[in-house]
């Protein structure tokens, strides 16, 4: 039933969308004036923008060209604006130009401009809004990276959804995206996992293990691991000492936990291309961490020294000792950071440097990590390390996702049912569905705390943004069904055929103000995609979709009182087709945006 628009459209030329087209014309005018007026040759047009004015009464678009260029052109902004405006008036897209305020140039486009844009939507279908801005540049997005010590709990899901939607968005904007998961399978916590699983193994062999001791993972989810071990090894492991059985049990437990996690992610429609094992970095004979430290040492970024004791809460067993330190302060961090623990093993940071170096070595220059709020203090040191390793040739953007407060009808839901047993991601998805989870996780800026109300997100009302947007898409299809029965019997059902059919409609008959407003809303989609992609902010897509759906619903509602505004006009098949073409434009863009968010676009709301 869902009509996803994820179809690959590679090779298709991206649309020169309307704002970009007008910007190009403004640039052309400025270039002409520059030639005529003898402006400096190196004049920079990059700050010139064309954007929707805050107040729609000012026109359709506004440009700051005159204000930005005035200084270099040695002219007063208003005067320069007048000269630019005069030339723009000759443009065939533009019906009115006026200069306002300190030198804004307001442009009103001819209605035909929006009609033409609608034709692009219909021609490009799912590809509309796609951009070449990424220029096929490789981007690595690392997200989730939950420890493989148990199933995913609700705390993980925001970062998971955010990273996934951001990846979709970047892909749609023309980047070549790799979705990556870093498996922390080398630290002490996986040894704890192994010991916990070993207990379950003994249990599976019939032993009474009693209470799970403090410090081990108590969850029932380890029982299947114990059973699998018993099946595979019988009681052989019991005879071994810990040093012998631990790696065996650990590998099995990690593998099974990762399977569980992948299943949880699949329930949210998330798939990574690369699962990168931390342990693989320190394999005997191929120790990437040691290599990385040597690499940094050769650059003079490693030294032996001691650090001042940490401020804030005192560390009980603090011992002042000389250790191997990375000179993070030389790259913007606050203190230098240790790389080797007193037992000789590497710190997490040390392997993390090696891991990020590995990303760089694989050709990534654009790195994005999605982390939870409690890791905020870790950003500077990793960025410092990347600066040191790549000589500033790669950039890491760390996106911090804030906490989610889980509510039910406004009452806070306790995150752990009893000690050690968190509400799992799967429970939440099972209760409200992945669409609700995904959309609501994205309907807020990533760095703001988010309230997630289990009751509200399945409500069918305007309050519930997921419903409202999906309903917009479904309503479009409902209109198609009705139209087919009443006025346009040969309207194809299949999306591609329907779009092709409607592309031939007499869309120039769309002349109502409210209709043109809706077309204008469609036209800002490509811009929204680009802006959201460059800012790494998928939430902008969610808000855009909410606005578009609102406007669409509003127009539908107007038809209730004003029959001439209805989409289906019984006595006028040509006009009906034109309006269906507009509805199709809305449906296409809603489906496109929802696909970016990873949310289904249903054709009915049952």
Partner RNA sequence: GCGCUCGUAGCUCAGCUGGAUAGAGCAUCGGAUUUCGAUUCCGAGGGUCGGAGGUUCGAAUCCUUCCGAGCGCGCCA
* Residues 264-283 interacting with RNA (rule: CB under 7 A): 278
From 375, 415, 421, 427, residue interacting with RNA (rule: CB under 7 A) = 375
What is the x/- site pattern for RNA, positions 161-190, by CB under 7 A?
-----------------------x-xxxx-
Task: For the segment 210-269, give every residue that binds RNA (CB under 7 A).
Answer: none
Q: What is the CA radius of gyration of the chain?
A: 29
- State in angstroms the smallest separation of the CB of 83 from RNA: 17
400 or 516: CB nearest RNA: 400
Q: Under the criterion CB under 7 A, does residue 1 sit at the interface with RNA?
A: no
CA angle 223, 229, 233 (to 5 degrees): 155
- 204/260 with CB nearer RNA: 260
Q: Which tokens in the block code for residue 490?
A: 């040969």
- Which tokens is 114 given? 């929006």
Distance between CA atoms of 593 and 529, rounded to whole angstroms? 9
| Pick 104 or 360: Cβ nearer RNA | 104
With CB under 7 A as the contact rule, which of the stretches 171-179, 253-261, 497-505, 559-567 interacts with RNA? 559-567
Q: Which two tokens stand for residue 417?
A: 């049912």
CA dist., res. 262 & res. 183, Å (int): 12
Q: Is 337 in the site for RNA (CB under 7 A)?
A: yes
Residue from 402, 431, 503, 572 touching RNA (CB under 7 A): that is 402
| Residue 304 in the binding site for RNA (CB under 7 A) | no
| Residue placing its CB nearer to RNA in the complex, 41 or 188 | 188
Sequence-distant (6+) residues with CB within 8 A of 338 are 307, 323, 324, 325, 326, 347, 349
Alpha-carbon distance of 255 to 275, in angstroms, equals 12
What residues have CB less than 8 Å from 401, skipping those under 6 apart?
Answer: 158, 159, 162, 370, 371, 372, 373, 446, 447
Report the nearest approach of RNA to the CB of residue 151 (Å): 16
Question: Is position 318 an interface residue for RNA (rule: CB under 7 A)?
Answer: yes
Q: Which of 121, 354, 401, 474 binds RNA (CB under 7 A)?
A: 474
Min dist CB 283 to RNA, Å, is 16
As given in the structure block, the two tokens for residue 362 are 């694989």
Reference 162, options 353, 364, 456, 398; nearest CA is 398
Per rule CB under 7 A, count of chain residues that contact RNA: 104
The least CB distance from residue 525 to RNA, in Å, is 11
The binding track of 42-61 with respect to RNA, each residue x by CB under 7 A or -, is -------x-xxxxx--xx--
* Distance, CA of 391 to CA of 559 (rounded, Å): 61
| Residues of span 57-86 touching RNA by CB under 7 A | 58-59, 62, 64, 67-68, 71, 77
Q: Which is nearer to RNA, 50 or 197 (CB)?
A: 50
Residue 227 beta carbon to RNA: minimum distance, rounded to whole angstroms: 26
564 binds RNA (CB under 7 A): no
- Percent of the chain as helix, strand, coil, to the nearest 5: 55, 15, 35
x/- letters, 10..39, toward RNA (CB under 7 A): ------------------------------
When the beta carbons of 143 and 201 are compared against RNA, the nearer one is 143
Please identify, among the stretches 196-204, 230-238, 239-247, 558-566, the one whose residues bind RNA according to the rule CB under 7 A: 558-566
Least separation in angstroms between residue 230's CB and RNA is 28
Which are the contacts of 99, defined by CB distance < 8 A and separation ≥ 6? 66, 78, 81, 82, 85, 105, 106
Closest CA to 543 of 595, 465, 604: 465
Torsion of CA 210, 216, 217, 223, to 10 degrees: -50
CB nearer RNA, residue 201 or residue 480 = 480
State the minimum distance, in angstroms, from the CB of residue 160 to RNA. 17
Measured from the CB of residue 294, what is the shortest distance to RNA in angstroms?
A: 19
3-state secondary structure of 339: coil
Q: Which of 92, 211, 220, 320 binds RNA (CB under 7 A)?
A: 320
517 CB-contact burial (10 Å; exposed 0-12 / middle 13-18 / buried 19+): middle
Least spacing, CB of residue 307 vs RNA, in Å: 5
Q: Which two tokens stand for residue 530?
A: 């680009």
- Of 255, 350, 267, the C-alpha closest to 301 is 350
User: What is the full DSSP assignment across 201-252?
Assistant: HHHHTT----SPPTTS---GGGHHHHHHHHHHHTTGGGGS-HHHHHHHHHHH
**Residue 454 lies near RNA (rule: CB under 7 A):** no
Binders in 144-163 for RNA, by CB under 7 A: 147
Q: How far is the CB of 548 from RNA (least distance, A)?
A: 12
Write down the least CB distance from residue 205 to RNA, Å. 30
Please list every residue from 341 through 360 that binds RNA, using CB under 7 A: 341-343, 347-349
Cβ partners under 8 Å of residue 270, min gap 6: 144, 160, 161, 164, 598
Among 114, 501, 525, 556, the residue binding RNA under the rule CB under 7 A is: 556
Q: What are phi and psi of 324, to 5 degrees?
A: -80, 120
Q: Which is nearer to RNA, 186 or 257 (CB)?
A: 186
Contact with RNA (CB under 7 A): which of 156, 327, 475, 600?
Answer: 475
Of residues 275, 553, 572, 573, which one binds RNA by CB under 7 A? Answer: 553
For RNA, give the closer residue by CB, 211 or 343. 343
Among 300, 309, 363, 420, binds RNA (CB under 7 A): 309
Structure token pair of residue 103: 């030198």
Map the footprint of RNA across residues 477-536, applying CB under 7 A: 477-479, 481-482, 486, 527, 531, 534-536
Of 97-136, binders to RNA (CB under 7 A) are: 100-104, 106
Does residue 462 touch RNA according to CB under 7 A?
yes
Interface with RNA, residue 312, by CB under 7 A: yes
Q: Does 461 bind RNA (CB under 7 A)?
A: yes
Measured CA to CA, the distance from residue 476 to residue 498 in angstroms comes to 13
Residue 122 three-state SS? helix
User: Least distance in Å: CB of 210 to RNA?
Assistant: 27
448 near RNA, rule: CB under 7 A: yes
Q: Which among 411, 414, 407, 402 has a CA at the least distance from the CA of 453?
A: 407
H/E stretch holding 368 reads strand 366-372
- The answer to whether the beta carbons of residues 168 and 205 sit under 8 Å apart is no
């Amino acid at each position: 039933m869902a009509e996803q628009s994820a179809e690959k459209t590679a090779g298709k030329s991206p649309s020169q969308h309307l704002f970009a087209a007008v910007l190009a014309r403004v640039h052309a005018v400025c270039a002409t004036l520059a030639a005529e007026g003898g402006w400096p040759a190196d004049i920079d047009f990059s700050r010139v923008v064309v954007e929707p004015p805050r107040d729609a009464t000012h026109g359709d678009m506004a440009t700051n060209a005159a204000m930005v260029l005035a200084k270099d052109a040695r002219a007063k902004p208003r005067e320069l604006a007048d000269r630019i405006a005069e030339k723009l008036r000759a443009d065939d897209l533009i019906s009115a130009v006026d200069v306002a305020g300190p030198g804004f140039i307001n442009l009103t486009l001819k209605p035909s401009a929006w009609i033409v844009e609608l034709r692009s939507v219909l021609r490009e279908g799912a590809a509309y809004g796609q951009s070449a801005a990424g220029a096929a540049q490789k981007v690595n997005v690392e997200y989730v990276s939950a420890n493989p010590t148990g199933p995913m709990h609700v705390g993980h899901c925001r970062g998971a959804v955010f990273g996934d939607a951001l990846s979709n968005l970047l892909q749609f904007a023309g980047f070549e995206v790799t979705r990556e998961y870093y498996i922390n399978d080398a630290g002490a916590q996986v040894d704890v996992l192994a010991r916990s699983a070993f207990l379950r193994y003994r249990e599976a062999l019939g032993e009474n293990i009693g209470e799970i001791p403090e410090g081990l993972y108590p969850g029932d989810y380890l029982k299947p691991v114990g059973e699998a071990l018993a099946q595979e090894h019988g009681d052989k492991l019991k005879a071994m000492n810990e040093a012998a059985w631990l790696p065996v049990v650990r590998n099995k437990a990690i593998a099974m936990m990762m399977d569980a996690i992948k299943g949880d992610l699949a329930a949210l429609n998330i798939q990574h291309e690369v699962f990168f094992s931390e342990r693989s970095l320190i394999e005997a004979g191929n120790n990437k961490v040691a290599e990385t430290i040597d690499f940094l040492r050769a650059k003079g970024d490693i030294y032996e020294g001691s650090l001042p004791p940490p401020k804030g809460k005192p560390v009980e067993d603090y011992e002042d000792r000389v250790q191997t330190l990375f000179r993070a302060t030389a790259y913007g961090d606050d203190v230098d950071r240790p790389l080797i623990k007193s037992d000789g093993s590497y710190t997490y940071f040390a392997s993390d440097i090696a891991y990020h170096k590995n990303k760089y070595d694989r050709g990534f220059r654009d790195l994005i990590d999605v982390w939870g709020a409690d890791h905020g203090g870790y950003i500077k040191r990793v960025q410092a390390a990347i600066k040191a390793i790549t000589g500033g040739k790669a950039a890491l953007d760390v996106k911090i996702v804030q906490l989610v407060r889980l509510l039910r009808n406004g009452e806070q839901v306790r995150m752990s049912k009893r000690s050690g047993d968190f509400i799992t991601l799967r429970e939440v998805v099972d209760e409200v569905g992945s669409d609700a989870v995904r959309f609501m996780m994205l309907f807020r800026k990533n760095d703001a705390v988010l309230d997630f109300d289990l009751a509200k997100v399945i409500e069918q009302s305007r309050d519930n943004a997921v419903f409202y947007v999906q309903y917009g898409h479904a309503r479009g299809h409902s209109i198609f069904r009705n139209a087919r029965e009443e006025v346009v019997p040969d309207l194809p059902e299949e999306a591609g055929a329907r779009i092709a059919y409607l592309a031939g409609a007499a869309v120039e008959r769309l002349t109502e103000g409210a209709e043109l407003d809706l077309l204008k809303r469609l036209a800002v989609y490509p811009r929204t995609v680009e802006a959201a992609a460059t800012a790494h902010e998928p939430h902008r897509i969610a808000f855009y979709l909410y606005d578009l759906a609102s406007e669409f619903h509003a127009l539908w509602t107007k038809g209730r009182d004003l029959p001439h505004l209805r989409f289906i006009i019984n006595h006028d098949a040509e006009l009906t087709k034109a309006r269906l073409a507009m509805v199709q434009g809305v449906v296409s863009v809603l489906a496109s945006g929802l696909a970016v968010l990873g949310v289904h676009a249903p054709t009915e709301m049952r």
